[in-house]
Amino acid sequence: MANATGPIRLDTRNLTVTVRNVPDTADIISGIWDKKTGGEIDSEETIYHPGGMADPVSLGGRRNVGNLVLTRLCRVERDWGALPSLISGVGKSRVVVGDQARDIDGNPVQNTLTYNGRLKRVTPPEVDSESSGPALIEIEVTVDGFPS
């Protein structure tokens, strides 16, 4: 790993996704994806208001991880044939997402954030007869642990 310093750009990340059918151990789909949103770590807020007009007391709360939404260009040879298996795996298939930072030369830096979860949603590419834009496939993952 490179011993880089400085900022990380949005385009210098390696985002790997593997969707595995349950109970099978075969991968439905795996590889590099283009975009990730979500995955924020938040907490419930519990505030106690004591008597006597005393200031409120924060009791903290449980941590929660937001769902991940992953997107990439749909390719016939890689993604189109996997769509039926992805769709049948909604609510069942296991997903592992790795988010690896890279330096400006593409060398990996520091640790990879790894999310584990379950496939919640699959969105096949949209159709528009008047557009030549990219056809994107999107999946949503319910994260069932904290990134490691």
Residue 3 lies in a domain: no
Residue 4 lies in a domain: no
Residue 84 lies in a domain: yes
Structurally, the chain folds into a number of domains equal to 1
DSSP codes, 6-63? S---TTSEEEEEEEE-SS--SEEEEEEESEEEE--EEE--EEE--STTPPPEEEE--E
The pLDDT tens digits for 19-36 are: 998 776 678 889 999 999
What's the mean pLDDT when you consider all of the chain? 92
Would you say residue 3 has pLDDT above 70?
no
**Which range of residues forms the domain containing residue 76?**
13-143
Share of the chain above pLDDT 90, in %: 76
CATH of the domain at 19: 2.30.110
pLDDT at res. 91: 96
What are the residues facing 109 on neighbouring strands? Answer: 2
The pLDDT tens digits for 81-132 are: 999 999 999 999 999 999 999 988 888 888 899 999 999 999 999 999 999 9
Residue 6 lies in a domain: no
